[in-house]
Amino acid sequence: MPDYDYVIVGAGSAGCVLANRLSTDGDVLLLEAGEPDDEREMSVPLAYPELWGSSVDWVFETEAQPELDDRTLDVVQGKTIGGSSSINAQVYLRGHPADYDGWAAAGNDGWDHETVIERFERIEDGPGDPYGEGGPQHVAEQGDPHPLSSAFVDAAVETGLRRRECLNDGPPEGVGYTDVIQKGHERHSAADAFLKPVLDRPSLTAETGARVRRVVFDGDRATGVVYDQAGGTTRATVREEVILSAGAINSPRLLMLSGVGPADHLREYGIEVRADRPGVGRNLQDHPIVYLPSESETDDTHGDADSLVNLLKYLVLKRGPLTSNGLEAAGYWRSDGDLAAPDVQFVFAPAYLERGELVDGTNGFSIGTALVHPQSRGRVTLRSDDPDDDPAIDPQYLAEDDDLAALRAGVRKAREIADADPLATRRANRDDPHDRPEETIRSGTVSYAHFAGTCKMGDGEMAVVDDRLRVRGVEGLRVVDASVMPTIPRVNTHAPTTMVAEYASEFVTGDARSDLQ
């Protein structure tokens, strides 16, 4: 029977960081349910939408959402080496100081902004200040942005947003181009940054197609996992810890299947209760986003990005629209001037998008309006005790009235930006197709795929992990991914998730050394 110091479940943004850091002085088994990240579309920055709904996506969907016309929404979650960092829009944003200071104020010692910023810098290799230098994660500026993206920035400035050269240089406020996880104008996923450079370490074993069914316990201590691979079932044991890095949907699901979760819910499916933790699966958060598209006069928007000319331009010169991450610029805005930090993010795509999907044959641009500090909370629950059954995912989008009010204000502001001359003069039709903001929100809002919070850290009955990310009520088990975030950061979640994993690696190795003393 294999025996490791650590078993890490999930090779996404967090799991790749942990595998890199923990395998320097420990034997690590990294288990990924998906396949290797060898799809060509993964390396081409603008090809990622073609991967959604494919074999490298878990292809989950939400429960019907009452506030969104009872629609079910796609839940995009990467199922491959690199996880969602292999199929996302590559935006690199650290977060607002209020995000992390809020975590610390809620009782999570050491998670304040001043402390976590050092962990960001340690993992980064960016284009000068404010980034770190020489870290594994390469961060780049936009390589060949579309002129419409510049027009969006100009239009946002005309409506009152402050122009920013870098949205990570200080709090993310105002408007500017987005920086991205790219290297040489190709995607630089967590797998590219953290995992592939160390795959030759004898201390690291990485397995794909390995679907973990449950965590194994001896009494209250996690001693390993059981997983399916190639038609067989294997048990791997650990000397130190099992670490769940399967994401905000799958990590709580695995905890519940292993007997850690709300006792009544587990008993409903005949699962033996190992630890009654009512917060497992609760506190689900996401950034709901609605896109406002406009047709444009120019015929060279991203609607024809995959033309033969553009493909050749990318393959030969690494130039053109295929170098784009799609969301080339972003802005931050307060729906209420009394707020301490922005609660709305605008993102700009030089493409005509409806519900986040490209409309073929239509040239245009779109402003996405995302609620990045939502008050609504949802949950992830089991449907049965069968690990092969998808969980029930109910984000409860806009369940709180304040969320609808903030998003409605954001949509009005997005319309104001689209009506400003730098963009309005580029629209094919000056008539406003979005004059009913609430109807637009209810019929058009989709998931931004930034799920977080379902195994939140902190104190109290609903906390799942402590501030060193150890699962409460058991031993030898940690959760390290976006699910531990007590409140979702106001930014795209890849960068914060890698920071969480970098910080967690210190906890894991520090606790292991303490056990030896």
Nearest residue to 177 (alpha-carbon basis) of 161, 162, 159, 165: 165
CB-based contact 104:110 (threshold 8 Å): yes
Token reading at 359: 């409309």
Please identify every residue annotated as catalytic.
450
User: What single letter denotes the amino acid at residue 373?
Assistant: H
Q: What is the largest CA-CA distance in the chain?
A: 72
Task: Give the Cα separation of 252 and 254 in Å (integer).
Answer: 5
CB-based contact 485:453 (threshold 8 Å): yes
CB-based contact 343:406 (threshold 8 Å): yes
**DSSP labels for 68-131?**
GTTB--EE--B-BTTGGGGTS--B-----HHHHHHHHHTT-TT-SHHHHHHHHHHHEE-SSTTS
CB-based contact 425:419 (threshold 8 Å): no
Buried (b) or exposed (e) across 83-98, using 16+ Cβ within 10 A? Answer: bbbbbbbbbbbbbbbb
CB-based contact 347:327 (threshold 8 Å): yes
Task: Give the Cα separation of 116 and 109 in Å (integer).
Answer: 11
Task: Give the Cα separation of 104 and 134 in Å (integer).
Answer: 28
